Amino acid sequence: MALRAAMVAELGEDTIRSEAVAVAFSVVPRHLFAPGEPLDMVYDSNTPLVTKTGPDGKALSSVSAAHIQAVMLEQAGIEPGMRVLEIGSGGYNAALIAELVGPLGCRVHPLHRWSARTRRHAAQHP
């Protein structure tokens, strides 16, 4: 997808330093974790996306801006085979981590079951 490639290229200018993080952002389809959102917003590297709201309209869950996620993943130094504790919604960031740790790595997510989108992504990218 051209928008995803453009986001990765933009992040590569000042944020992404490792090939592994670049590949993870290139292969994990961010739009699957923000259904119904316009694709230009989904792939804008500085836009966080609200994914769940409460009855009062207040945000309950979100996908952080890709720029923030790239910074965190670069700082974490995640490598294939590592065990990673990811506490969150089990969405896009979990899928990025799954890509980084690879098939021999372990993603431990104790607070929530993985979302259907994360499971689908993991199944499509063993």
Instruction: Specify whether 64 is catalytic.
Output: yes
Per-residue pLDDT of the chain (126 residues; tens, 9 = 90+): 899 999 999 999 999 999 999 999 999 999 998 888 999 999 999 999 988 889 999 988 889 999 999 999 999 999 999 988 887 767 899 899 999 998 887 665 544 455 555 556 556 655
Enumerate residues 6+ apart whose C-beta is below 8 A from 124: none
Active-site residue among 45, 61, 64, 115?
64
**0.85 surpassed by pTM:** no
